[in-house]
Structure 1
Amino acid sequence: MVWVFGFVAIVVVALFAVLTWLRRSGRSDEEGGAGPIDFAVNLALAVFLVVVAYAVVLCRDAISASDADVRAESESLVELYWAVAPLPQSAEVRDLVRAYTTHTVELDWPRMREESLDPRTGVTLDSLRTAMLKLPATDSELRAEALARAAEVSHARTVRADNATSGLESVFMVSMVVSGLLVIALPWALRRRPTVPSVIADVVRVATVVTGIVVIHLISHPYGVEGAVDPGPLKEAQVRFDEIDRLLPNGGAA
């Protein structure tokens, strides 16, 4: 978030510098090409707003899809816990399922804002899959289901890693920046001396463009904004593990 304040500060300084220059060397004549310039500004603004609106829709869809993937991962973990609970000697596996879920919430989540996953969570997942292969084949159907659920969890982690590194196509950011600069700078081509109404118009234009660019950049990948994709389903899974242990208090004991 520090870059946001830096970006806004640079824009404010640039706006102040331009208005100061126009005040000193601008002209009072408000004619001379104002019509074509105003048309170009309106056209650039239309392009900017269309790109922003489309980008918001794409980003929102990506966030919704990532949220659905987290819910699917949580469900797979709960179903895995259900599958291994009745199996003998499954205490280690259940402990690793709990550990993996905890590590996902506490280690992976902060790193996903930086578009990466914590390698320690991957090590825990590898240990979980290894422990599952050591389970005795007393109930081949349950064991097969548990292995299938473990594969689902592994796939879900891969999908989450892809989501964490996904982002908006660069063409949208380039289009926003170019059209936004045109919206801001074209009226200054007339070199009009600033007046109170023109300064207000300049501030509104700059604020609109800067706000659009900052918002789109922040939500350009699903985990870019804290809380956009919530680990709540995984925390709910941790509660479900306790419920399963209460329902099957002797599960995996022998």
Structure 2
Amino acid sequence: MGWVAVLVVVSVAIVLIVFRVLRKKGRDDGDHSSSSVDFSANLALAVYLLVLAYAAVLCRDALSVSEADVQAEAESLTEMYWSVAPVPEAAPVRSQIRQYTAQSVDLDWPLMAGREMSPLPEQTLMDMRATVLRLRPVGEESKNLQQDALDRISEVFHARVVRSDDASTGLESTFVILLILSGLLVIALPWTLGVRPTTASIVADLVRVGVVLIGVCFIILISHPFGGLGAVEPDAFKAAQRQYDQIDGQFPAQP
């Protein structure tokens, strides 16, 4: 959000300065239009729109992938809860699964917008694995459930690494730079003719500036999957917490 505010303020300041300079030093409009300038402006517009569309697709793909990764992690947690639910002595594991899920929602998500994650949930996962290993299942079925729980913990470890990678990445700065540069050309090329602004030209200039500014700000706002517009929310983890309650209803935890 900070970059967006700075970009808006700078753009408004530049436009006001250009209008003031052209009003004082610009010449009256006549047959001074240049076909080369028109061609260059149209070319810059085509490049701007191409980069804008490509950046939007990349951001949307990153958002979809991150959302799918979060959903997969929540499903692994739910399946792990199912695995340990029939084991009478696995009540501490249930508590740790709930703790990890809550920590991910309360601690990880506020940090992921800044490309960071809390170390506490990972420690909870390690404690959870140790707790499952210390279980002494009786019978083949309980042993299979224990092994399945260990497999699910490995899946959650991997899913957490993937989520960390998703949170630490974003749209490459190259695209934002190209977008800004091509947008500046779209805005500035008509001003190189040095024509004194009229009401019609001012409206056209404001439309160009507005279109470019909205496009750049939109890309900046959706450039990170866990921050800005359309950010991935921890809804899948909250849904898993509700499923834990349903599983407890079928397999009440024993102290």
Match of 2:21 in 1: 21
Query: Which ranges in structure 1 are unaligned for 5 or more consecutive residues?
Result: none
Q: Following the alignment from structure 2 to structure 1, what is the Cα–Cα distance between the partners of residues 172 and 14? A: 28
User: Which residue number corresponds to residue 225 of structure 2?
Assistant: 222
Q: Secondary structure at the match of 2:135?
A: coil
Distance 1:214 1:15 in 2: 17
Partner of 2:198 in structure 1? 195
2:116 aligns to what SS in structure 1?
coil
Instruction: Confirm or deny: 8 A CA contact 2:101 2:241 kept in the other structure.
Output: yes
For the 8 Å contact 1:44–1:182, the answer to whether it is kept is yes
- Is the contact made by 2:4 and 2:220 (CA closer than 8 Å) also made in structure 1? no
Q: What is the identity, as a one-letter code, of the residue corresponding to 1:3? A: W
User: CA–CA distance in 2 between the matches of 1:59 and 1:226?
Assistant: 11
Q: Which amino acid aligns with 2:245?
A: D
- Would the aligned equivalents of 1:33 and 1:190 in 2 still touch at CA under 8 Å? yes
1:179 to 1:214, Cα distance in 2 relative to 1, 3 A: same
| 8 Å Cα contact 1:113-1:226 kept in structure 2 | no
Q: Using the alignment, how far apart are the partners of 2:114 and 2:148 within structure 1? A: 34
Question: Secondary structure of the residue that 2:88 maps to in structure 1?
Answer: coil
| 1:75 and 2:78 aligned | no
The alpha-carbon deviation at position 175 of structure 1 amounts to: 1.5
Amino acid of the structure 2 residue aligned with 1:6: V
**1:156 paired to 2:159:** yes
Structure 2 CA distance for aligned equivalents of residues 129 and 207 of structure 1: 54
Corresponding residue of 2:168: 165
Q: Which residue of 2 aligns with 1:241?
A: 244
* C-alpha contact 1:80 1:150 (8 A) present in aligned 2: yes
2:137 matched to 1:134? no
Deviation at 1:5, TM superposition (A): 2.2
Residue 227 of structure 1: how far off its partner (Å): 4.8
Does the residue aligned with 1:86 lie in a helix, a strand or coil? coil
Structure 1 window deviating more from structure 2 (125-134 vs 20-29): it is 125-134
Secondary structure class of the residue paired with 1:118: coil
Task: Please name the residue that 2:53 is paired with.
Answer: 53
CA distance in structure 2 between the aligned counterparts of 1:217 and 1:59, rounded to whole angstroms: 10
User: What SS does the aligned partner of 1:19 have?
Assistant: helix
1:143 to 146, 160, 180: 146
User: Equivalent residue of 1:90, what SS?
Assistant: helix
Once residues 178 and 3 of structure 2 are traced to their aligned partners in structure 1, the CA distance between those partners, rounded to angstroms, is 20
Q: By how many angstroms is 1:8 displaced?
A: 0.6
Amino acid at match of 1:232: D
Cα distance, 1:47 vs structure 2: 0.8
Q: State the alpha-carbon separation in 2 of the partners of residues 243 and 81 from structure 1.
A: 11
What is the identity percentage for the equivalent residue pairs of Structure 1 and Structure 2?
Answer: 49
How many residue pairs align between the two structures?
252
Superposed CA offset, 1:139-178 (max 9, x none): 2211110000011111111111111111122331122111
CA distance in 2, matches of 1:230, 1:53: 25
For the residues of structure 2 that align with 1:33 and 1:227, how far apart are their CA atoms? 43
Does structure 1 retain, via aligned residues, the 8 Å contact 2:59–2:171? yes
Q: Which runs of 5+ in 2 are unaligned?
A: none
- Once the two structures are TM-superposed, the CA of residue 42 in structure 1 deviates from its matched residue by 1.0
> In 2, Cα distance between the equivalents of 1:171 and 1:2?
19
User: Which 4+ runs in 1 deviate beyond 6 A?
Assistant: none
Q: What TM-score do you get using the length of structure 1 for normalisation?
A: 0.94
In structure 2, the partner of 1:104 is: 104
- SS in structure 1 opposite 2:80? helix
Q: Could you tell me the TM-score, scaled by structure 2's length?
A: 0.94
Alpha-carbon RMSD: 1.5
